[in-house]
Structure 1
Amino acid sequence: MAVGAWWRGLRARERRHRVRLALALGATTFLAMLTPVTSSWSPGIGGLLIGLLLACNQLDRRHTAAVAAWSLLLVLAAATAGKLVTTPGFAVELLVLLAGSALAVHNAARRTTMTTALARAAKVAHASQSAILRPVSARLGGVSVCTRHHCPVPGASVGGDLYDVVHTPYGVRLFIGDVRGHSLDALGTTAVAIRTFRDLAYLTPCLADLATALDARLAPDLGPEDFVTAILAELAPHEVRLVNCGHPSPVRVGKQVRLLEPPEPALPLGLHPTPRPHRVYLQPDDRLLFYTDGLSEARDADGAEFPLLERVGDALAEPLPADALDALYGMVTAHTGGPLADDLALVLCQPVSGLPRHHASSADPNPASCTNPPPGLLGPSA
């Protein structure tokens, strides 16, 4: 399968090169023919150089050299027919054409080298991002967790979505976020954020303090206009504890479909937020969907955003979590009419029977010790 896909890709690239070569040769011939005919006519060097410029911006060195050779053939043929080969003016035009051909071939080689290097860097970056965002489809501490990460369309830059799930003494903790920007710097920030979360999630009892520690670690490495939207979640028996720092609110799907919006908005990480945790009551069959703005901001051809609350209930009705996330992704790509322009991270959580009871006593043992004590439970009908 992999060899077949490689071969098909190679053949497609060869066909594209042949088409571009034919177009460049045709454009060169056409431009030469547009030159006015006079008694001392020879092909217009300006027109031929335009053809070479087009060639070096679209073709590799070998095909650009072919266009240069064709241009030289046109000059020699026209000059021979007009008996201009021995004239001083022809010698000057020939030297100009040879110099332009050499520059065109050089620029084509340089552009091809840079394009190849950038493509390799993009592949390495995407591979690194895939390694950082490890897929999860397992039961952790009585919580069923399933994740998906969809990269942008081929050729797009590396995205800044991030997520991680760990099983700590305080319960199953989840971190999902989005680094502003799409570059290697965003990938570096993603790696630092996830590493810091993994280090501190086992040692910090309160989610608000964990968010503050993450902000303190990330802020020095971010630019003046950079930030990381994030949600920290902690699943315990019959409830989930949340800290939202400027990130799209998760969705609870059960008897009702509801956005779990924070009582008070907080700034993203890197902008020194004042995180305020809140709790949400969970029914036994409730599912929690965490996502990045690649889902909520996906738009169709008319600019309409994906109707999240209207469609997510149907998708998450699928019995298996993996099927539910696949159905949701199918719905959003049907809405946009093709692959998403932005990357997308999805995390689906559902408490299952047999959640260890020690989590209820160890998780957040003293809410008053948090920097900002959480308000009361938000019930299923709230």
Structure 2
Amino acid sequence: MAVGRWWRTRARGWHGRSRLAPALAASALLAAPGFLTDNWYPGILALLIGPLLACVHLDTRHTAAVATWSLLLALVAGTARQRATAPAFAVEFLILLAGSALAVRSAGRRTATEHALVRAERVARESQQAILRPVSARLGGIDVCTRHHCPVPGASVGGDLYDIAHTPFGVRLLIGDVRGHSLAALGTTAAAIRAFRDLAYLTPGLADLATGMDARLSPGLGPEDFVTAVLAEFAPGEVRLVNCGHPPPVRVGKRIRLLEPPEPALPLGLHPTPRQHRVYLQSDDRLLFYTDGLSEARDAGGMDFALLERVGEALSEPSPADALDVLHRMVTAHTGGPPVDDLALILCQSANATALAPVT
């Protein structure tokens, strides 16, 4: 780890010096006329260009280096042409000094803002990982395994969410997606999970649970904000589902099927009228819940991910964890790299389920 920190520090230093050298060279080029002619127009004020350009791209230390270099060149040029004691030179030099100081200050403010944004992004990602804790457990006779994959480095925070609860009404789960990808989305993600945890143990009906979550979330959402969600409740031989504008789960058994709701409902936050529907399950059925990072994954040519076909292949893996890992590798291969959107996956199966053969 110490070697890694040393390398990152050296790399940042090399990167800064690679930008510093052109800025110093530009200042030297601007100062050259001062050594060659008595009528240097527009005078040493041309050297302000160096610090002003530096403050846009460089940090405080490197901008100060460019400013100092410009001031030194101005003094040397003025002395070489015997103008250092002239009143006009003094005025221009003071303006150059003031402009250089402002450039250094501007670089400091910009650098501080950038560092603050990076820290906020990092804290948000760490908070999101804490909220979306991985699950691999057996609850109430149901094996549950989850995966959450963040976008490529540099992408903004996503709004995928999920949670599982072993309630008096059975094993219940939530999977959803907050509209938008920003730090504000993280707050909505936390609020949705908190509402689910508060209400899942107290609300008998799954549709009532969705309505209660909508009532909790709506006051804190903007006019164009919403949360797509699927709520599921497992009972012997069946699963009960409420879908509020979210991609439908996939059942993999003797055949693969999208479990689409009989009647679509609006997402949470838009005051839906959710209705529960039941799906009967065989002992070897597996259910995959996912976010649109899977269903809307596209390759370089804009081709959609072959959802049902690839899910069937991946879920033939005996281990739920292996099945989700294989599915993620399939998505990565399809997109040609890490998905640009968050991807949340939940795989559920009966504790007595056996491995499935690939479905054709």
Is TM more than 0.5 here? Answer: yes
Q: Which residue of 2 aligns with 1:248?
A: 247
- Counterpart AA for 2:220: D
- Deviation by residue 1:217-236 (Cα, 9 ceiling, x = unmatched): 11111111111100001122
- After the TM superposition, which of the residue ranges 308-317 and 166-175 deviates more from structure 2? 308-317
- After the TM superposition, which of the residue ranges 322-331 and 62-71 deviates more from structure 2? 322-331
Q: Which residue of 2 aligns with 1:231?
A: 230
Matched, 1:282 2:285: no
- Deviation by residue 1:325-344 (Cα, 9 ceiling, x = unmatched): 12222222222222332222
- Counterpart AA for 1:341: V
Q: Which runs of 5+ in 2 are unaligned?
A: 354-358
- Counterpart AA for 2:77: A
- Deviation by residue 1:231-261 (Cα, 9 ceiling, x = unmatched): 0011222322111100111112233232211
- The alpha-carbon deviation at position 87 of structure 1 amounts to 3.1
Q: Which residue of 1 aligns with 2:39?
A: 40
- The alpha-carbon deviation at position 129 of structure 1 amounts to 1.4
- Counterpart AA for 1:178: D
Q: Which residue of 2 aligns with 1:221?
A: 220
Q: Which residue of 1 aligns with 2:151?
A: 152
- The alpha-carbon deviation at position 324 of structure 1 amounts to 1.6
Determine the C-alpha separation between the residues in 1 that align with 2:76 and 2:324. Answer: 65
Matched, 1:11 2:32: no
1:273 counterpart SS class = coil
- The alpha-carbon deviation at position 38 of structure 1 amounts to 5.5
- The alpha-carbon deviation at position 115 of structure 1 amounts to 2.0
- The alpha-carbon deviation at position 146 of structure 1 amounts to 0.8
1:67–1:100 distance in 2 versus 1, CA, 3 Å: same
- The alpha-carbon deviation at position 119 of structure 1 amounts to 2.0
Q: Is the 8 A contact 1:41 1:82 kept in 2?
A: no
The structure, 1 or 2, with the larger RCO (C-alpha pairs under 8 Å, 6+ apart) is: 1
- Counterpart AA for 1:202: Y
Q: Which runs of 5+ in 1 are unaligned?
A: 355-380
1:194–1:33 distance in 2 versus 1, CA, 3 Å: same
Matched, 1:132 2:131: yes
- Counterpart AA for 1:54: L
- Deviation by residue 1:125-166 (Cα, 9 ceiling, x = unmatched): 222212111110111111111111122223333221110011
Q: Which residue of 2 aligns with 1:364?
A: none
Q: Which residue of 2 aligns with 1:118?
A: 117
1:300–1:74 distance in 2 versus 1, CA, 3 Å: farther
- Deviation by residue 1:178-213 (Cα, 9 ceiling, x = unmatched): 111223332222222111111211222211111111
1:178 counterpart SS class = strand
Determine the C-alpha separation between the residues in 2 that align with 1:292 and 1:34. Answer: 63
2:207 counterpart SS class = helix
Q: Which residue of 2 aligns with 1:60?
A: 59
- Counterpart AA for 2:196: F
* Two-structure CA RMSD over aligned residues (Å): 2.4
1:273–1:67 distance in 2 versus 1, CA, 3 Å: same
Structure 1 consecutive aligned stretches of length 4 or more whose deviation exceeds 6 Å: none
- Counterpart AA for 2:185: A
Determine the C-alpha separation between the residues in 2 that align with 1:334 and 1:88. Answer: 69
Determine the C-alpha separation between the residues in 1 that align with 2:331 and 2:112. Answer: 37
- Deviation by residue 1:4-30 (Cα, 9 ceiling, x = unmatched): 443333232222212122232234344
Determine the C-alpha separation between the residues in 1 that align with 2:166 and 2:319. Answer: 22
- Counterpart AA for 1:142: G
How do 1:153-168 residues align onto structure 2 when only pairs under 5 Å count? 153-168=152-167
Alignment coverage as a number of residue pairs: 354
Q: Which residue of 2 aligns with 1:69?
A: 68
Q: Percent identity?
A: 73
1:107 counterpart SS class = helix
Q: Is the 8 A contact 2:242 2:276 kept in 1?
A: yes
- Counterpart AA for 1:335: H
Q: Which residue of 2 aligns with 1:199?
A: 198
Q: Which residue of 2 aligns with 1:89?
A: 88
TM-score normalized with structure 2 length: 0.90
- After the TM superposition, which of the residue ranges 209-218 and 325-334 deviates more from structure 2? 325-334
Determine the C-alpha separation between the residues in 1 that align with 2:43 and 2:105. Answer: 22
Q: Is the 8 A contact 2:45 2:93 kept in 1?
A: no
How do 1:324-339 residues align onto structure 2 when only pairs under 5 Å count? 324-339=323-338
1:203 counterpart SS class = coil
Determine the C-alpha separation between the residues in 2 that align with 1:79 and 1:264. Answer: 82
- Counterpart AA for 2:39: S
Q: Is the 8 A contact 1:306 1:332 kept in 2?
A: yes
